[in-house]
Structure 1
Amino acid sequence: MATAKTKQKILKTFLDLLSEHPYEDVSLPLIAETAKVKLSEMRSAYASKLKLVAAFLEQIDTAVLDERDEDMGDQPPRDRLFDILMSRIDAMAEHKEAVRALHKAARKDPALALDFNALEVRSQKWMLIAAGIDVSGVKATVVAQGLSVAFARVIGVWLDEEDEGMPRTMARLDKELDKGTSFMKRLNKLDGVAKGIRSFFRKASERSGRRGDRAESGREDTDLGGEAPAGA
């Protein structure tokens, strides 16, 4: 069983290698050799590169959640989410070249992109929670999926930006959140319509059930009324 220290060393080695090599060239044996750990330890710690990517995203999630600004609670949801996502970019800054390698790999390999997307959706659900945006069930997945796609576009701008103030990145995030706000309004309307339809059919079903009960009761009364006396 790999220790927490060994797992951290392996993850750091993976990110360092990604900073210098394409994702497809960074193999598990190379990571193990560079980190100076046995393959058995590698297997115990991370059985695949995707698990290493998941660990990296979880590390970013943790950094954002730990640094969440409690004073943003009285701000509009959009502003809170902007702050959270910028904090996410700040947390990634140390590993910008590794993020670049992951970004390039996803653009070249659609199957890998789907795997990365599933991990990012999970992370974005936590970003929504951190921003105090209350969504649940299927709606939470839909919103997190949209946010994942939008954030990927923002990351594309960030990777090409050299200005430390990140004006282009922030402008793109503003634009994506504006589109997201419009989407949320449409989604809420659809959600309201869907709830209305479900309520209509539920009430119709209840009325139908009551009519069926009355009809059944009437038939029982008729049957009893027409029964011949015993011994007739």
Structure 2
Amino acid sequence: MTNPRDRVVDATLSLAARRDFGDVSLTDIAHEAGLSLADLRDLFPSKGAILGGFSRRIDRKVLDAVADHPSTDAARDRLYDVLRRRLEALEPYRDALASIARWASRDPLMRTALNRETVNSMRFMLEAADIDCDGPVGALKLQGLAFAWDRVLDAWFKGDFTDGLSALDTEIARGERYVEHAEELSRMTKPLRDLASRLFDMGGLRSRQTADDDFPHPHA
């Protein structure tokens, strides 16, 4: 028997493919999944959480596939391969995801929440491609890749799988130039950041010393 969480995710995607996702209620989802509303509440607290569950399902599918086929190609090619696999995994849900994207475009809070999910997924996609995503430059890579992925999906929604792949190739090339500039800027500003960090630490030490002077030990 299908796992109840999977049933909820499948029901949600099925409804989104048939209707405007903004009109789909949690009650609708529970009914489609064959669950009570109380059971649904135990599994997911919101529609956004259900979409997060779907995103993690896709993450696992891609990560399992990449683990089975490790690559020694250049970083650009590794990332393209990982994200191509992700787009392939999403292909059966294209209509549903297009409906969800239209709904999110009308709701700034949901758009922000879905961006967080995308950034989290992109973190694992970069790791799967063996590309560093730590530190300030890593944060820029993650958010930049999340924005790029949104543009890839938009091309996919408007066209087909081939259009999505073409957009992916363009976005990765653009991202390479962006990351090169970011890494160069990071190297140039590292001495200033190190100096600021030392000054901050010294300021904190002086603040603690002043506090000790203002409030001497009662037995001093």
Aligning the two structures, in what range does the TM-score lie when normalised by the shorter sequence? 0.7 to 0.9
Q: Is the 8 A contact 1:125 1:140 kept in 2?
A: no
In structure 2, do the counterparts of structure 1 residues 28 and 182 end up closer, same or farther at CA, with 3 Å as the change threshold?
same
In structure 2, do the counterparts of structure 1 residues 20 and 136 end up closer, same or farther at CA, with 3 Å as the change threshold?
same
Question: 1:1-232 maps to which residues of 2 (within 5 A)?
Answer: 5-68=3-66, 73-162=71-160, 166-199=161-194
Q: Is the 8 A contact 1:72 1:80 kept in 2?
A: no
Instruction: Give 1:76's aligned amino acid.
Output: A
- Would you say how many aligned residue pairs link Structure 1 and Structure 2? 202
SS of match in other structure, 1:134 = coil
Deviation at 1:10, TM superposition (A): 1.2
| 2-structure distance, mates of 1:67, 1:61 | 10
In structure 2, do the counterparts of structure 1 residues 70 and 139 end up closer, same or farther at CA, with 3 Å as the change threshold?
farther
Identity %: 27
Q: Is the 8 A contact 2:137 2:183 kept in 1?
A: no
Residue equivalent to 2:206: none
Instruction: Give 2:168's aligned amino acid.
Output: L
| 2-structure distance, mates of 1:201, 1:64 | 41
Deviation at 1:74, TM superposition (A): 1.8
**Normalising to structure 2: TM-score of the pair?**
0.84
Q: What do residues 138-193 of structure 1 show as CA deviations (whole Å, max 9, x unaligned)?
A: 3322211110111111111111224xxx4322221111111100110011011112
Instruction: Give 1:124's aligned amino acid.
Output: M
| 2-structure distance, mates of 1:4, 1:141 | 37
Deviation at 1:130, TM superposition (A): 0.6
| 1-structure distance, mates of 2:70, 2:104 | 33
SS of match in other structure, 1:68 = helix
- Aligned CA RMSD, in angstroms, stands at 2.3
| 1-structure distance, mates of 2:66, 2:153 | 20
In structure 2, do the counterparts of structure 1 residues 108 and 203 end up closer, same or farther at CA, with 3 Å as the change threshold?
closer
Q: Is the 8 A contact 2:11 2:29 kept in 1?
A: yes
Q: What do residues 14-63 of structure 1 show as CA deviations (whole Å, max 9, x unaligned)?
A: 11111101111111111111222111111000110010010010011001
Deviation at 1:196, TM superposition (A): 2.2
Instruction: Give 2:47's aligned amino acid.
Output: K
Give the structure with higher Rg (CA): 1
Deviation at 1:109, TM superposition (A): 2.1
- Where structure 1 has 5 or more consecutive residues not aligned to the other structure, the ranges are 209-232
| 2-structure distance, mates of 1:179, 1:118 | 22
Deviation at 1:73, TM superposition (A): 3.1
- Where structure 2 has 5 or more consecutive residues not aligned to the other structure, the ranges are 203-220
